[in-house]
């Protein structure tokens, strides 16, 4: 079971790791772009879960793309800007929301929030090499490619904590979300990225959506017997069955960016009936997001 940690200790360590607290900003994935869109479920979605947004559509969605660090002025081409983030908030018909929090690597460096805190504290203390030496999964994650996108819309994203889905007949499927860009993957080399403007990703998305919608397929990678569902450091084989849950269509840039950046709260554990955590880290992560949100609002002058 994931060990509880003090959310404030995690925020403090993230601040130190990224060079100091940034008032009004998220502790991590501070630089972002908010986009509006809709989700339409596939014919197969209702067979996976009775969750309301899998029954019919369209469902309005608010999407936030982001760079990795806690520095809101970070250049998009910076090597430390990856993994990129993609968070989705589905606005359900009954007035409630449900969220997906994903990033651009299929995996995570640690399996518990306690280890996450220890890793970030090591980064803040400049002792990360020692932490990596004693944590093989984190060392393997550090070595994974962290692709630099030509566009937020040409990169795949992975929600790495497994969930349990129950349909109207009581049948259960365990899986992990992934978002696949309809436009395909388009990446930049480090040299190409270094030559782009600091905010090239927001500008590119604005140009792209001015010409028409961008789309992602919401897929579910389904676990098989023996797959670790409680450890996000372990990626499942690509040969695992994937169910197409539907189409996410990005329609425009949100007009109230500053307000949205401060007030949007995405919670991995905000789940409707028909979806519940399979990985205990879902519930363990959620208080940290809430603490960052409360701090951000308290600093809003």
CATH code for the domain of 104: 2.40.180.10
Domain count for the chain? 1
135 in catalytic set: no
pLDDT tens, the chain, 301 aa long: 445 789 999 999 999 999 999 988 999 999 999 999 999 999 999 999 999 999 998 999 999 999 999 999 999 999 899 999 999 999 999 999 999 999 999 999 999 999 999 999 999 999 999 999 999 999 999 999 999 999 999 999 999 999 999 999 999 999 999 999 999 999 999 999 999 999 999 999 999 999 999 999 999 999 999 999 999 999 999 999 999 999 999 999 999 999 999 999 999 999 999 999 999 999 999 999 999 999 988 864 3
Buried b or exposed e, range 207-219, using 16+ CB within 10 angstroms: ebbeeebbebbbb
- According to DSSP H, which parts of the chain are helical? 7-17, 45-48, 113-124, 128-134, 136-143, 190-194, 200-211, 257-263, 281-298
Instruction: Examine residue 129 and state whether it is found in any structural domain, yes or no.
Output: yes
Residues 6+ apart with CB under 8 A from 246: 39, 40, 41, 42, 45, 54, 57, 217, 218
Instruction: Examine residue 2 and state whether it is found in any structural domain, yes or no.
Output: no
Structural domain containing residue 265: 7-298
Instruction: Examine residue 1 and state whether it is found in any structural domain, yes or no.
Output: no
Instruction: Examine residue 158 and state whether it is found in any structural domain, yes or no.
Output: yes
Residue 152 is labelled as binding a ligand = no
232 within 8 A of 163, measured Cβ to Cβ: no
Residues 200 and 121: their CA atoms lie apart, in Å, by 31
3-class secondary structure, 287: helix
pTM (whole model) above 0.75: yes
DSSP secondary structure of 116-181: HHHHHHHHHTT-HHHHHHH-HHHHHHHHS--PEES-GGGS-EE--S-EEEE-TT--EEEEEEEEEE
Number of neighbours of residue 258 by Cβ within 10 angstroms: 10
Selecting among 29, 53, 103, 135, the annotated active-site residue is 29
Instruction: Examine residue 153 and state whether it is found in any structural domain, yes or no.
Output: yes
Number of neighbours of residue 295 by Cβ within 10 angstroms: 18
Instruction: Examine residue 253 and state whether it is found in any structural domain, yes or no.
Output: yes
Residues 154 and 190: their CA atoms lie apart, in Å, by 16
């Amino acid at each position: 079971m994931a060990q509880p940690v003090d959310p404030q200790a995690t925020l403090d360590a993230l601040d130190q790791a990224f060079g100091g607290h940034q008032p009004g900003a998220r502790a991590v994935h501070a630089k972002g772009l908010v986009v509006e869109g809709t989700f339409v479920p596939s014919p197969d979605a209702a067979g996976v879960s009775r969750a309301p947004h899998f029954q019919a559509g369209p469902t309005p969605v608010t999407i936030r793309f982001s760079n990795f660090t806690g520095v809101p002025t970070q250049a998009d081409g910076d090597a430390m800007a990856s993994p990129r983030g993609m968070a989705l908030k589905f606005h359900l018909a009954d007035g409630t929301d449900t969220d997906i929090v994903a990033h651009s690597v299929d995996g995570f460096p640690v399996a518990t929030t306690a280890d996450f805190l220890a890793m970030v504290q090591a980064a803040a203390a400049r002792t990360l090499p020692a932490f990596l030496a004693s944590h093989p999964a984190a060392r393997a994650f550090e070595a994974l490619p962290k692709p630099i996108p030509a566009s937020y819309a040409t990169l795949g994203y992975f929600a790495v904590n497994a969930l349990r889905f129950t349909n109207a007949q009581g049948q259960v499927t365990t899986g992990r979300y992934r978002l696949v860009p309809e436009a395909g993957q388009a990446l930049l080399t480090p040299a190409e990225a270094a030559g782009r403007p600091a905010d090239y990703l927001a500008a590119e998305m604005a140009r792209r959506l001015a010409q028409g919608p961008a789309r992602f397929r919401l897929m579910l990678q389904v676990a098989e017997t023996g797959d670790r569902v409680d450890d996000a450091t372990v990626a499942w084989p690509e040969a695992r069955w994937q169910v197409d849950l539907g189409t996410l269509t990005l329609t425009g840039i949100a007009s109230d960016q500053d307000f949205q950046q401060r007030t949007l709260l995405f919670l991995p554990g905000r789940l409707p009936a028909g979806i519940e955590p399979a990985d205990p880290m879902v519930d363990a992560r959620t208080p940290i997001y809430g603490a960052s949100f409360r701090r951000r609002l308290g600093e809003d002058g």
